[in-house]
Amino acid sequence: MTPSSLGILGGGQLAQMLALAALPLGVRAVVLEPDPQAPARLCAEHIHAAYTDPNGLDHLAACDAVTLEFENVPVEALARLEGRVPVRPGGTLLARSRHRAREKEALRAAGVGTAPFVPIEAEADLPDALEQVGGRGLLKTSELGYDGKGQARVNSAVELNAAWERLGRVPCVLEGLVAFEREVSLGVARTAAGEVAFGPLVENTHRDGILRTSVFPARVPGGTEDQARDLARRVAEAWGLAGLLTLEFFQLPGGELLVNEVAPRVHNSGHLTQDGGGISQFEAQVRAVLGLGLTDWFPLHPCAMVNVVGTADGSEPDWAAIDALPGTRRHLYHKAPRPGRKLGHVNLVAPERETLHARLAELERLIP
Ligand code: AMP
């Protein structure tokens, strides 16, 4: 088999784990990333330059294909690559998924339900906006928000005006507050030839706006996975996906799924696929992007993930106790600790669900 190369825009932990998944497939990763301490530098060729650096981009253009690990890649970078090397997902899809209002409009156009929302572009959009979404909502910046950043809960017109000021009067979306029963997510991959494959349906919990745990299998009513796959296929086909994307859903009490967000890449909720015995989401993205043959990817055993996030008081997980818990595996990102920063995750695999949940409760006690 001819060794091949994969260019990655961004060098964070997702790039690190993509690069690690690529190696056994005979694929070397090259990352373009301005941060000298980027996690992926340890296992990939690191082009230490701005995302728009012409030489850096020319280096990526020499790879067999280019993918990304975050959606806020500058448009100029994509423009320099497109036409020279396959960029998957491509610029049109990225332009949608990096902008909350455009993303929601494109989801609705594909026949996929979302929370009620009103785009807030200017002060004139503020009056009446809260009523239109049901009286209580979340104001989110349309661009550059992640892990609960760039968001504010609002319960009155006064709070909405204040929140918009605080967020810098930038374009936002006001979303109605969804009284969901649970949050789940699912990955979908599509090759340039139009082959579609799916990841597992995973159940997620959040803490302070940041993902805390993911669990497979998700505890959901019958039919939920088919519904999620149907919605994911619709988005993948309507948006002309080449590569992998992840949908985050809210499940309503009646069972209906609304899409909260789409990430044009592997996702934190899919990390448990690294240790469930099947193909990981990282391998699936590498395969989809390079056209290496694709099947559904899902764990063969019940498994879970707990994120390790920097704490305000600097307290750390009890690593010795974590290592002593059967079925755990550490995945650390080699990042300097900071409160609220994702530093790693611990995966847990167990022979059956009851054991998984008992050990997950124990694992959660060991990770502050
Ligand atoms: P996001 O950054 O949009 O993924 O939001 C982070 C988390 O905030 C979500 O996973 C939910 O737990 C919560 N959240 C976001 N939007 C809403 C909403 N419209 N209604 C209720 N909860 C929400």
User: For 314-363, how does the pLDDT look when each residue is reduced to its tens digit (9 = 90+)?
Assistant: 999 999 999 999 999 999 999 999 999 999 999 999 999 999 999 999 99
CATH 3.40.50.20 is right for the domain spanning 5-87:
yes
Please state, in angstroms and as integers, the Cα–Cα distance from residue 159 to each residue in 22, 126, 155, 311, 326, following that order: 47, 11, 6, 29, 48
DSSP 3-state assignment of 9? Answer: strand
CA-CA distance, 320 to 225, in Å (whole number)? 37
At residue 75, the pLDDT reads 86
Pairing between strand 117-120 and 137-141? unpaired
User: For 6-18, how does the pLDDT look when each residue is reduced to its tens digit (9 = 90+)?
Assistant: 999 999 999 999 9
Q: What percentage of residues in the chain have a pLDDT greater than 90?
A: 92
Other Cβ atoms closer than 10 A to 296: 16
At residue 283, the pLDDT reads 98
Give me the amino acid identity at 89: P
User: Within 13 Å of residue 160, how many CA atoms lie on the same side as its CB?
Assistant: 27
CA-CA distance, 269 to 347, in Å (whole number)? 11
In this predicted structure, the answer to whether residue 49 has a pLDDT above a threshold of 80 is yes
CA-CA distance, 140 to 129, in Å (whole number)? 13
Nearest residue to 186 via CA among 253, 320, 281: 281
| CATH 3.30.1490.20 location in the chain | 116-176
Task: Specify whether the backbone of 148 is left (phi greater than 0), alpha (psi in -120 to 50) or beta.
Answer: left
Mean pLDDT of the chain: 95
Relative to the CA of 175, which ligand 1 atom is closest? 19
- Residue 131 pLDDT level (bands cut at 50, 70, 90): very high
At residue 149, the pLDDT reads 74
Span 85-113, average pLDDT: 94
CA-CA distance, 322 to 339, in Å (whole number)? 21
Best residue among 72, 104, 138, 167 to mutate for probing ligand 1, ranked by most atoms within 8 Å of CB: 138
At residue 2, the pLDDT reads 66
| Centroid of ligand 1 to alpha carbon of 350 (angstroms) | 29
Q: Are 151 and 163 in contact (CB under 8 A)?
A: no
CA-CA distance, 4 to 217, in Å (whole number)? 34
Relative to the CA of 151, which ligand 1 atom is closest? 2
Weakest mean pLDDT among 7-11, 34-38, 73-77, 332-336: 73-77
| CATH 3.40.50.20 location in the chain | 5-87
CA-CA distance, 120 to 259, in Å (whole number)? 20
DSSP string, 43-97: TSEEE-S-TT-HHHHHHHHTSSEEEES-S---HHHHHHHTTTS-BSS-HHHHHHH
Q: Which tokens hold the place of 53?
A: 């650096």
At residue 178, the pLDDT reads 96
| Centroid of ligand 1 to alpha carbon of 153 (angstroms) | 10
Please state, in angstroms and as integers, the Cα–Cα distance from residue 96 to each residue in 127, 235, 262, 324, 368, following that order: 26, 12, 9, 44, 36
Nearest residue to 57 via CA among 66, 39, 148, 224: 66
**Architecture of domain 116-176 in this structure:** 2-Layer Sandwich (3.30)
Per DSSP, 178 falls in state P
At residue 147, the pLDDT reads 64
At residue 146, the pLDDT reads 67
| CATH 3.30.470.20 location in the chain | 182-366
| Residues pairing with 197 in the sheet | 189
Query: Does the predicted model carry a pTM greater than 0.85?
Result: yes
Instruction: Please state the length of the chain.
Output: 368
Q: What percentage of residues in the chain have a pLDDT greater than 70?
A: 98
Q: Are 110 and 102 in contact (CB under 8 A)?
A: no
User: For 281-310, how does the pLDDT look when each residue is reduced to its tens digit (9 = 90+)?
Assistant: 999 999 999 999 999 999 999 999 999 999
Q: Which tokens hold the place of 124?
A: 């004139």
User: For 196-250, how does the pLDDT look when each residue is reduced to its tens digit (9 = 90+)?
Assistant: 999 999 999 999 989 999 999 999 999 999 999 999 999 999 999 999 999 999 9
At residue 285, the pLDDT reads 98
- Residue 72 pLDDT level (bands cut at 50, 70, 90): confident
CATH 2.60.40.2130 is right for the domain spanning 182-366:
no
Q: Are 300 and 274 in contact (CB under 8 A)?
A: no
Residue with tokens 């990225």: 94
Nearest residue to 285 via CA among 326, 244, 321, 237: 244
Residues lining ligand 1, Cβ inside 6 A? 115, 138, 148, 175, 177-178, 183, 206, 209, 248, 260-261
In this predicted structure, the answer to whether residue 3 has a pLDDT above a threshold of 70 is no
| Centroid of ligand 1 to alpha carbon of 260 (angstroms) | 7
Best residue among 167, 260, 268 to mutate for probing ligand 1, ranked by most atoms within 8 Å of CB: 260
